[in-house]
């Protein structure tokens, strides 16, 4: 990508007019800026990653209702491994594939140890409570977790914390994630206590991908909105800074003319 460089010329031209700053193409850093930071959705494996994450759950619930716990555990593990292999063959992001296999393996292990099919969902229930609590605490201490995580992922810094207007979008997105996780915990813990494995699976799917997609969309809006606010503030400050050299230059030319 060609960048514009600024070249400063000194003195006067042939007509006695002061020379101006000229923007010229600069190809020395042609490759700068080409590396694009992956979006949050891409880091989660994209839409295909969100959809494929529910397949092992569906397999587990269906097989458990037809047969028993042990075949359901192995079927869910097989589905998770198959999805991981499929993503590797397609040369897609490896991290969601590995996370998917490890997540299903952990849930399957808990179900095996408890000897109950509902144990498959126990980790997700308590994880929702922990995540919800973390997001809530971040709001109370005015370090909204959505902004913190995003800044840590792309290394953009925390300038938005010093600007209340720029922090508000991150507050809103963090509230959405807080409600999302707390709602998952409340609903699914009730179904767990009632030993409703089938409904647990339905709730896990219904409150998983759809709500996550909504929360991700709100997060994307928050990131862009906060970024625009910071850019507007920076643009308002630039004219003030730009007038100082110009004023100095004009004063110098006046001094020369007086001589």
Residue 6's beta-bridge partner residues? 23
198-257, pLDDT tens digit by residue? 999 999 988 888 888 899 999 999 999 999 999 988 888 876 555 555 544 544 444 554
Residue 20 lies in a domain: no
CA–CA separation, 194 and 183 (whole Å): 17
Same domain, 90 and 108: yes
Structural domain ending residue among the three candidates 96, 115, 134 = 115
191-201, pLDDT tens digit by residue? 999 999 999 99
pLDDT in tens, the chain (259 residues): 444 444 444 444 444 544 444 443 344 444 444 455 555 555 555 556 666 778 888 899 899 888 889 999 999 999 989 988 888 888 877 777 788 889 899 999 999 999 999 999 999 999 999 999 999 999 999 999 999 999 988 877 898 999 999 999 999 999 999 999 999 999 999 999 999 999 999 999 888 888 888 999 999 999 999 999 999 888 888 765 555 555 445 444 445 544 4
Same domain, 108 and 128: no
Same domain, 168 and 127: yes
Residue 93 lies in a domain: yes
Number of domains in the chain: 2
Q: Which domain holds residue 98?
A: 41-115
Structural domain ending residue among the three candidates 89, 115, 141 = 115
């Amino acid at each position: 990508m060609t960048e514009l460089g600024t070249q400063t010329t000194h003195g006067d031209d042939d007509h006695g007019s002061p020379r101006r700053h000229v923007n010229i193409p600069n190809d020395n850093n042609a490759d700068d800026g080409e590396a694009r930071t992956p979006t949050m959705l891409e880091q989660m494996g994209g839409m295909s990653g969100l959809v494929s994450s529910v397949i092992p759950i569906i397999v587990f619930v269906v097989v458990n209702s037809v047969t028993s716990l042990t075949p359901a555990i192995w079927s869910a593990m097989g589905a998770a491994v198959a999805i991981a292999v499929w993503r590797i063959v397609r040369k897609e992001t490896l991290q969601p594939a590995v996370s998917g296999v490890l997540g299903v393996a952990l849930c399957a292990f808990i179900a095996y140890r408890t000897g109950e099919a509902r144990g498959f969902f126990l980790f997700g229930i308590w994880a929702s409570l922990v995540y919800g609590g973390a997001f809530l605490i971040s709001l109370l201490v005015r370090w909204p977790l959505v902004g913190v995580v995003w800044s840590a992922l792309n290394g953009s810094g925390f300038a938005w914390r010093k600007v209340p207007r720029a922090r508000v979008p991150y507050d809103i997105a963090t509230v959405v994630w807080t409600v999302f996780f707390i709602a998952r915990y409340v609903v699914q813990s009730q179904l767990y206590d009632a030993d409703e494995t089938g409904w647990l699976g339905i709730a896990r799917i219904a409150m998983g991908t759809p709500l996550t997609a909504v929360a991700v969309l709100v997060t994307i809006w928050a990131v862009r909105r906060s970024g625009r606010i910071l850019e507007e503030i920076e643009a308002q400050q630039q004219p003030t800074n730009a007038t100082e050299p110009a004023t100095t230059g004009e004063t110098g030319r006046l001094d020369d003319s007086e001589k």
